[in-house]
Amino acid sequence: MKPLRLVPENTAIDFVRLRFFGFIVSGLLILGTAIGLMSPGLNLGIDFKGGILIEARAPEPIDVGGLRTQLNGLGLGEVQLQQFGEPNDILIRVQRQEGDEAAQNAAVALVRETLGTTYEYRRVELVGPRVGGELMQQGIIATLLAVAAIAAYVAFRFEWQFGVSALIATFHDVFVTVGLFIVLQLEFDLTAVAALLTLAGYSINDTVVVFDRMREQMRKYKSADMKTIINLSVNQTLGRTILTSGTTLLAILPLLLYGGSALHNFTIALFWGILVGTFSSVYVAAALLLYMPPIRRGGEEKAERQPGDAPSTSP
């Protein structure tokens, strides 16, 4: 019995021919994100704008949905709830109120009155805009370091040309996902930073698979040009790409639809990022290798095959 294949075994799609279309799409996405950063900009959450932080414990498990409805009705603006540790532990974030410290204390008193006297208050903090700015700076640094570390790993494992392509492709995926937050005006907080870091790690996964197959094909077909190598490698890994990305999207979809507001921004960023990352593996990471210095073709000593042994493609 033949194994089930998602794509035909001898698929020969000319991906390289469409690279300029891919460049246009990527360019428009990057340009749109850059313009969006200037206006209207990111919709920063409490973590970065500052606000009120209350850590409390209830005598019994908390109905987060019901509590969120109560607090949203207080007219305090944006309110975030997060369970951690035990089911009766809750972390409440309230946006910074207009006015001085007295206004912040009044908001804290209103929240405590709504929760009631049965709650044990373990921590009440007022997070100023300066602290939020520092968190924002640290989040940006963490994301950039993650992208740079991924590129360094790829350059070490393959060749420096692969590392440069991986750096650009991963930055492309993260930057374009930031654009999604701008277009939809999703709240950008520490959870969003976590989504970007997760995306950076995931998006390189398919890229490395394609790069590994390209290295293998370059050893086998030393006379073939880079266009042929890219098309051959992408076609051979196409089934794996569809299966991996498809199953991941299916796993994320229930969280996106039924995960509630707490997980909405995280899951929508991953959903979009996986789509963009799959696209960029071919039309950013692989295609950029066409415009870099030739990659040395070392490897195993075998009888060299002729370019005609590999499927030929048009430019």
Residues 6+ apart with CB under 8 A from 52: 92, 93, 94, 95, 96, 97, 104, 107, 108, 111, 124, 125, 126, 127
pLDDT tens per residue across span 81-118: 877 767 888 888 888 888 777 888 888 888 888 888 88
The tally of domains found in the chain comes to 2
The verdict on 152 and 277 lying in the same domain is yes
In DSSP terms, 43 is beta-bridged to: 187
Band (pLDDT 50/70/90 cuts) for residue 2 is: low
Whole-angstrom distance, CA of residue 217 vs CA of residue 215: 5
Range of 163's domain?
Answer: 16-41+132-298
In a domain, 307, yes or no: no
User: Is-cis flag, bond preceding 87, omega within 30?
Assistant: no
In a domain, 4, yes or no: no
**CATH number of the CATH domain containing 147:** 1.20.1640.10
Band (pLDDT 50/70/90 cuts) for residue 308 is: very low
pLDDT score recorded for residue 33: 92
In a domain, 168, yes or no: yes
Band (pLDDT 50/70/90 cuts) for residue 30 is: very high
Chain Cα centroid distance, residue 28: 19
Residues 30-53 have a mean pLDDT of 85
In DSSP terms, 80 is beta-bridged to: 93
In a domain, 93, yes or no: yes
pLDDT score recorded for residue 296: 66
The verdict on 138 and 180 lying in the same domain is yes
End-to-end CA distance of the chain: 38
Percent of the chain residues topping a pLDDT of 70: 88
SS3 82: strand
Whole-angstrom distance, CA of residue 180 vs CA of residue 174: 10
pLDDT tens per residue across span 254-273: 888 887 666 788 899 999 98
219, 297 Cβ separation under 8 angstroms: yes
The verdict on 154 and 237 lying in the same domain is yes
